[in-house]
Amino acid sequence: MHANNFFDFPESIKQFSYFFPINDAPWTWLPNIEKALLGYQNFVHLKMKNIFLKNFEKLFSRSMAVAIGENVHIGKNVRLPVTYTIEDNVYVGDGTEIRSGALIRKNVIIGEHCVIGNACEIKNSLIMDHVQIAHFNYVGDSILGSHSHLAAGAILSNLRFDQQPIRIKIGSEKISTGLKKLGTILGEYAQVGCNSVLLPGTLVGKNSIVSTGMTFGGFLEANRIAYAETKTLIVEQKRKNIKV
The domain locations on the chain are 3-226
CB 54 within 8 A of CB 72: no
CB 122 within 8 A of CB 135: no
- Measure the CA–CA gap between 124 and 73, rounded to whole angstroms: 15
- Measure the CA–CA gap between 51 and 45, rounded to whole angstroms: 10
Q: pLDDT per residue over 60-118, tens digit each?
A: 444 455 677 788 889 899 998 888 899 989 999 999 999 999 999 999 999 999 999 99
- Measure the CA–CA gap between 102 and 240, rounded to whole angstroms: 46
More confident residue, 58 or 153: 153
CATH domain 3-226 topology: UDP N-Acetylglucosamine Acyltransferase; domain 1 (2.160.10)
Query: Is the model's pLDDT at 43 over the cut of 90?
Result: no
Residues composing the chain: 244
More confident residue, 122 or 82: 122
CB 89 within 8 A of CB 109: no
CB 191 within 8 A of CB 148: yes
Q: Which of 36-45, 53-62, 69-78, 162-171 bottoms out in mean pLDDT, i.e. has the lowest?
A: 53-62
